[in-house]
Structure 1
Amino acid sequence: MRVHVVSDVHGNATDLARAGQGADALICLGDLVLFLDYADHSRGIFPDLFGVENADRIVELRTARRFEEAREFGRSLWAGLDRDAVILGAVRKQYREMFAAFPTPTYATYGNVDVPALWPEYARPGTTVLDGERIELGGLVFGFVGGGLRSPMRTPFEISDEEYAAKVEALGEVDVLCSHIPPDVPELTYDTVARRFERGSRALLDAIHRTRPRYSIFGHVHQPLVRRMRIGATECVNVGHFAATGRPWALEW
């Protein structure tokens, strides 16, 4: 059995359409939407609306952790526009392309920049959306936990630690623990380019210690200090940033 895993697709529909080639299934761990590419400030919903110079400025403020200034700058740009309606329209356009690129079968969960309420409109037969749920593939049990934890970035699908922990708990014992965000380990949560720690989950880490899955697979941190490490019996693997690499991670057994 061979499964390909991707995360942090961020608008890369071209490579996504090829990501399942040679595999029995594709797993996608979220962040289909591209709002702003921190490596190329000309790509995404934000620069399409406000230009590259304004994208440069907001990235500069966020990288310096001046989040309140970044929010105020953003509010000034959105003045006079129906922010929610504009973003929703742009997200819908991206979702049409992303979901059309999914092969059959695909098993997917949400990232922190995704809009879960829209997914039922675009998930075609052959795409199974899972969050706090488990499936069996080739004799292994895969558990899925979508979304991110609350942060100063205030991305669309951030939830409380308690709500997230409840989803992890609902999985029980699994062979492969699939999530968008990593377990709360410094080496796995630090982004070397953004120069900050992203939020990881203590509940995921506790589940790894308690249930000892074979794998913990995740994305979210685009340029991690460590892409792969062991926690006891569990191999922890960062499978992103697919938008930049265009290459899926392969799991064979």
Structure 2
Amino acid sequence: MRVHVVSDVHGNSRDLATAGDGADALVCLGDLILYLDYADHSRGIFPDLFGVENTDHLVQLRTEGRFAEAREFSARLWDGIDRAAATEAAVRAQYAELFAAFPTPTYATYGNVDMPPLWPEYAEEGTTVLDGGTAEIGGLRFGFVGGGLRTPMRTPYEIDEETYAEKVAALGSVDVLCSHIPPAVPELCYDTVARRFERGSEALLEAVHAVRPRYHLFGHVHQPLVRRMRVGRTECVNVGHFNATGVPWVLEW
């Protein structure tokens, strides 16, 4: 059995269209939307609306950890614009292209920058969306937990720790634990380019110790200090960053 796994697609529909080639199934761990590309400030919803110069400044503020200033700067740019309508229109255009690129079968969950209410409109037959649910793939039980935890970035699908933990607990025993964010292990949460710790989940780490899945697969941290490490008997693997690599991670058994 061969499964290809991607995360942090961020608009890379070209490579997504071939990500399942040679695999029995594709697993996608979220962040389909490209709102702002930190490597190329000309790409994404924000620069499309406000230009590269404003994007440069926003990225600088965020990189320096000046999140309140970044929110104030962004709010000034949005003043007079129907933010919800403009964002939804741009997201819909991206989702139409990205979901059309999914092969059959695809098993997907949300990232922290995704907009879950829109997914049912674009997930065609052959794409199974799971969040706090499981699926059997090739005789193994895969559990999926979507979204992220609260951060100063205030991305669209951030939830509180209790709600997130409830979704993790609902999975029960799984062979492969799949989430967008990593477990709360410092080496797996630190981004070496952004030079900050992203939020990991204590509930995921507790599940790794208690359930002892064969694998815990995730993304979210684009340039991790450590991409792969063993926690107990579980192999924890950051499968991203697909937007930059265009190459899926391969799981075979």
TM-score (norm 1): 1.00
Shift in Å, 1:181: 0.2
Counterpart amino acid of residue 140 in structure 1: L
Counterpart amino acid of residue 220 in structure 1: H
Work out the CA distance in 2 between the residues paired with 1:245 and 1:159: 28
**3-state SS in 1 of match to 2:46:** helix
Work out the CA distance in 1 between the residues paired with 2:55 and 2:241: 20
Shift in Å, 1:46: 0.3
Work out the CA distance in 2 between the residues paired with 1:119 and 1:135: 18
**Alignment deviations for residues 42-97 of structure 1 (CA, whole Å, 9 cap, x no partner):** 10000001000100000000011100000000011001100010000000000000
**Alignment deviations for residues 134-180 of structure 1 (CA, whole Å, 9 cap, x no partner):** 01111110000000000000000000000000000000110000000
Aligned positions of 1:132-151 closer than 5 A = 132-151=132-151
Counterpart amino acid of residue 190 in structure 2: Y
Counterpart amino acid of residue 252 in structure 1: E
Residue in 1 that maps onto 2:13: 13
How many correspondences in the alignment?
A: 253
Residue in 1 that maps onto 2:158: 158
**3-state SS in 1 of match to 2:47:** helix
Residue in 1 that maps onto 2:48: 48
TM-score (norm 2): 1.00
**3-state SS in 2 of match to 1:3:** strand
Counterpart amino acid of residue 5 in structure 1: V
Residue in 1 that maps onto 2:23: 23
Work out the CA distance in 2 between the residues paired with 1:96 and 1:106: 16
**Alignment deviations for residues 167-209 of structure 1 (CA, whole Å, 9 cap, x no partner):** 0000011000000000000000000000100000000000000
Aligned positions of 1:60-75 closer than 5 A = 60-75=60-75
**3-state SS in 2 of match to 1:20:** coil
Residue in 2 that maps onto 1:36: 36
**3-state SS in 1 of match to 2:120:** helix
Work out the CA distance in 2 between the residues paired with 1:75 and 1:135: 41
Residue in 1 that maps onto 2:172: 172
Residue in 2 that maps onto 1:243: 243
Work out the CA distance in 2 between the residues paired with 1:138 and 1:63: 42
Unpaired segments of 5 or more residues in structure 1?
Answer: none
Work out the CA distance in 1 between the residues paired with 2:142 and 2:14: 27
Work out the CA distance in 2 between the residues paired with 1:184 and 1:24: 31
- Identity, in percent, stands at 77
Shift in Å, 1:124: 0.3
**3-state SS in 2 of match to 1:49:** helix
Residue in 1 that maps onto 2:130: 130
Residue in 2 that maps onto 1:200: 200
Q: CA RMSD in A?
A: 0.3
Work out the CA distance in 1 between the residues paired with 2:77 and 2:29: 31
Residue in 1 that maps onto 2:77: 77
**3-state SS in 1 of match to 2:235:** strand
Residue in 2 that maps onto 1:59: 59
Work out the CA distance in 2 between the residues paired with 1:127 and 1:249: 19
Work out the CA distance in 1 between the residues paired with 2:101 and 2:140: 26
Q: Which runs of 4+ in 1 moved over 2 A?
A: none
Work out the CA distance in 2 between the residues paired with 1:127 and 1:197: 32
Work out the CA distance in 2 between the residues paired with 1:39 and 1:196: 16
Work out the CA distance in 2 between the residues paired with 1:37 and 1:65: 17
Unpaired segments of 5 or more residues in structure 2?
Answer: none
Counterpart amino acid of residue 142 in structure 1: F
Work out the CA distance in 2 between the residues paired with 1:209 and 1:170: 16
